[in-house]
Structure 1
Amino acid sequence: MTASEFKAWAKALLARLASRLRPHLRARTLLLLPALLLIYVLVLIPFTPGIRDIRRAKVDQPAQIYSADGKLLAEFKPTHREWVSLKQISPQVMDALIATEDRRFYQHHGIDFRRTAGAALRTFSGDRQGGSTLTQQLARNLYPEDIGRSQTLTRKLKEAITAFKIEALYSKDEILETYLNTVPFLYNAYGIEMAARTYFDKSAGQLDVLESATLIGMLKGNSYYNPVINPERALDRRNIVLGQMVKFGHLPPAKLDALSKRPLRIDFERQTEEPGRAPHFAQQLRKWLIGWADDNDYNIYSDGLVVRTTIDSRLQSMATNALALQGNQLQSIANAAWGGRAGCANANADLGHAFIRETDAYRAMRASGANDADAIRKLASDRPFMQALCENKTRVQAAFLALDPRNGQIKAWVGSRDFSQDPFDHVAQARRQPGSTFKPFVYGAAFERGAKPTDTIVDQAVEIPIRGDEIWRPADDAPPSGRPVSLRDGIAYSKNRITAQLMEQVGPGRVARLARDMGVRDSHLDVVPSLALGTSPVTLKEMVSAYGTIANDGSYMEPLLVTRIENKDGDVLAQFESTPERALPVDATRKLVDVMRDVINRGTGTAIRTRFGIRADVAGKTGTTQDNADGWFILMQPQLVAGAWVGFNDSRVTLRSDYWGQGAHSALPIVGDLMQRALRSHLVDARARFDTQETPGMWQTMLTRVESWFDETFTKAPKPSKPKTAQTASQPVRPKRAPTGPAAEVTEDAPQPPVFTTMPPILPAPAESASDPATEAPTPALDAQQ
């Protein structure tokens, strides 16, 4: 037998066997398939949402965020939705929904077998139909990840199982209510209440029959029947819904023709969530709380957590108002400096052209073949385009943070002038050069090594070698006087040359390490001499935290957002507090606080006394970076440390004013306003005093200066010796050079004893610098004298 003959014989044999067994197989298959399907359903049940999960879906409770004084700050909802009861929804919405989506809703128990069979027959004949009931749709809406949306038997079975569970747990009214409150309607609107507000600017209870039909019509395909961008399709679909309502007795037939001819009359407005009292704070808190909830098996959107924060709603309100007031005043100055909203290119053509080149519109024109000149000329002549661009670039920004230095609790947090316009958080996200507000770290490091506030350094030209042959020449707004300047006066009048020489003596590595210990822990600090003048960008949160360390006798307290978390029944789940970490010795810290008082009493921060009338025991520091790009001010009081930053999102844009650009005139008023209100309302105790060795007042300060002058005039001081291991203030010895590269690590400099001469301080300099210091080396941007 050949191979072909064998194949033919085998085929014939199999055919005879199949013909004999076929009747038996048919019968067995008919009996076996339902059994297999039942087994498969039983296997799928554990992989569908459980009864507990379905119950939770109806009673989801978002985390509620409260201030320290009991005010609701925010609710963390997963979607933009407002739950309403059936009584709050127009009856015509329910009529339209049932007539269109599930006319036998009140007769079935989750699955409409008649509709499912009819949809299957139409689908097999080529007319694809959907057979899902409202309960099945609700199952998909509530559990999209568990059920899925693929067109498979497994998905349909999961959907059916879940629908049966829902019907067993919910009443029909509860199912309708849950469905209408969870169905999406585009534009971040979830549920019928948000849909009514978004498309018709009214509540769900005020919807008429046409509006109800329009919204229910969208359920067949939100995007396809979107009444905003596809009004003709939405109109046709609305009329189909009206026809269904007539067909099933929910609308008199006589009204159909007239209603069908009516226009849509959409009143569209996107719904935005209320920003709340402290939106930037809430934004940061949400990130932290999600991590905590994940670690502790909680859901911030459904478990009804109650979070008690450190924010004081009264201080928060004061800070928001103070920042808004000062920001509006500075905006008028910026508008005048830049020639109005559309005048930024006219005020500075090169910068204006740079702004244009950074836009998507410019890149699109270049991609289409236009050359640079043509693209610039066309866009610069487009008034609406330039108005929007200039308004964005020249919008003044500001930020504010206040905390209690005794425990690290954050009391007020304002991340920008307007959260809706600029949600970017300038407190914790923006990194800007801190300017002279960084100088206290240099003086703190010197006091830690034994220096005294009365020690002096000669005000002389300074040249410090940096990379290669480059020389850094820090300058002030006045030429060197050649006179000795006390450390107290150096920080009070923010002398750059004095601070630079002091930095040489203590070393950049030691200063950088101290700054990190005190609170500047997230930003990179370049270990270079110019760090003394605040050339490494940092956040406002870091700086206020570090000043909190100064106000807390040198003990760092990690900034705290939350004091405790409770469940919905009030049981405490977790409590939080900061643990003190010693960053600077007490003695050195008290010297630092003492000299920083002089910044307020007679230095660059005197407006706190003269303008705001604050008589409390306070200390602080102003700061301004090169070209007035950033204005800073941080004020310390024993119970509250408050800091503000003012600038623009683009550091190339400034107020273009040597007066208004300074921190003493841009940022200080925000802090001064807040502190003045806090003291008057007794939220902060005006009688609180820093625990320092001495609290010199105006008369005591004058007496000390007179005594020093008398001793110097009538007592011949011995000439200081010049051993090899010592140095004089007028001839500083170079310390071991620290790494200068941008990626250099913070390292400890070789030990070098501080050497100062004891001489009388100079007479007071003007409280504010009128110009920006110059530098002759291509170093990072330096700080103005402030």
Structure 2
Amino acid sequence: MTKKIILRTLSIFFLVLLFFTAVGAVGAVYLLNKESHNAHTIELKPSPQAISQSFTITDINGEALQESSNIYKYIPAQLSGKEQNIPELYIKALVAVEDSDFYSRKTKGYSIKGVSNAILSEVLTRLHLARGPRGGSTIDQQLAKNIAHGGFNADKSLSRKIVELIDAHSLAERYSRNEILTSYLDTLRLTPDTIGPGAAWNNLFSTPMMTDEKTPLYIAQIAYLAGLGQAPSTYVQDFSGAGKQRALTVLAVMKSSKIISEQEYKDSAEAVKKELKLNPNYTQGIPHAYQAYIAQVQKELGQLALPRNAKVVVKTYATKGHLDYLETVANHTAPDVSNIPRNELPEGALTAISVVDTKTGHILALNTNSDNPQLPISSVRSSGSTIKPLLDYAPALEYGYINENSILNGNATTYANGKPLMNYGGKSYGPVPASFALGNSLNSAALQTFDMTNDDQKNSIMRPLGIASHHYDQSHSISYDFSPLQAASAYSAIGNDGVRVTPTTIASVSVNGQEVPLSQAEAQRAMSSSTARSLVNLMQNVTQPNGSEPLAAQPQWPNAFATKSGLSNFPETATEPARSQGAPDAWMAATSTGVSTAVWVGSPDMSGKYYIPAAPIEQENNMRVYLLNNTIRFMNEGRNVAPFTFSGTALSHTPLLPELPQLVSPPTPQAIQQAKAFNAAAPTVTPKLEEFYQEHRQDKLVEARSVYGANEE
């Protein structure tokens, strides 16, 4: 390419860029004028009063799981003076991470660089050149969003962003930097049931936030809290992975901003890896066996509008004895009830157990051997093949693409992008019945059934199951992220005639001695009764002699038990031998007419340092089977575990199918117009299917001629 052509190309590029910049500027002015009447006059009125509640939590029999303890929900921020309760180190770290120009910026309430970045990322996203729009909001804008626009629930429209910017400018004109920062801190919801960094710190670490000791662990805690605002639920739920990585990122920002020294950075980064852990206030003095369950209770209580500074007594659906026993199961110290050998947990391996009542959705038990009580509740991990009955087979059955007798692909295949997809052990089986495909967990058949339905059809099932996504790609057919509690709850729908009841721990709540009326748990039909029946029948092949778990989790309740296992893969970046010999996630999920459960055993991260041996398969198999067998058999004791029953009730598909126009005789003009407007698309046949049909049609013609004669077809 000559120099002249290069210069001409650059000139055209800059002219186009100038044109779009001018159009953008004119558009921005127009939108600012148009939306200015929607702006708010926000008054900052900080609350001087802390909010705390005294909780007593009992099991279903009234035995205390947590004695009366005071938990702070909100502590007003004080940035200076004798009442200061927010350390300077946290303030500097927060500003460096969220809005580095907060104190030095000349513009009022907004950043020109931030607005430019936000607009650019929005354009790139719309052109499908970026995954999603970036932020660019100042602390002033975030405060305006939190106060007037719904915080995290705010809509993402351009109009709302413009109003937010106007509101932020108005705030910056009328209030000082410290007043705005104080109010911003007082709106931060860093954990599900606290507001403000003071209450969040108390909730997460149970230590004083203000201290004179600047230890590596303290700096690590400051970095973790300062980084929480970007994605609080993710960094709390996936503390060992995303949470610690975020803390390391914030420490790097603190070092580059000269908030901490090079040595402090090194020591604190080491503390993140080895010492940093969540030590929630509600776990203090509480036996480890009850901590995971109480974490879920507190999460649900955070959704209730309980009065401040009240004495709250909560009765739950747990039984203290169940939680005590499952603590020994989670730690792999309970007696083995399996008829197969038990393998000891690898050093560093974690476990999680979740149990719900199949019919009522009552959460009966949550246990883990981890220090993080969130692990069985909301820490999501790769499901492996436990997702196949829910995301692949259920929609394909529901919409009539397959039935229990369908023949599916048992051979290795490829994704749409050409990446190969193998079955376990690299085996190919040829055409196989659906029962064999699911019973042996064939990836090729899972992808085939996944491709039969669209996202809307999948979500008509996944949404009532509580595990829906905005979009599904082919990799989800064999690996989809969910938590043990979500898995147990979703599987309960299969054993409950296709109906899932929203899981809950809370049986009753009283405030200052008066019982609070609670809304009834919602029951939603996730699939038709016939689909639930078919899934049960198909899943029961998993534990048959020719299934993937021939000796594992053997049912002791005829026709009242169905299960599925799952195993995930390390990423290509994982260190050997984990990537080729192990797995970060090993699952068993099961439903019975009594209880439904999901158990997980795996590594705390995806590095490959810890892993569940998967070669030979018996090792990881025996560990997860040990968890499942001990859990589901113990939790079903004393229950009437009767055979599954099915009502025959269908799932309504009306939101997904166009409504046929009503025809009358003689037809009216309106009926004719409706019929014309229906415009149903003609069905299409892919070239591969057409080729297959023509090939087999010729075979049938030859066969017919041999039977009936050459002139008869």
Select the structure with the greater relative contact order (CA < 8 A; seq sep ≥ 6).
1
Larger Rg: 1
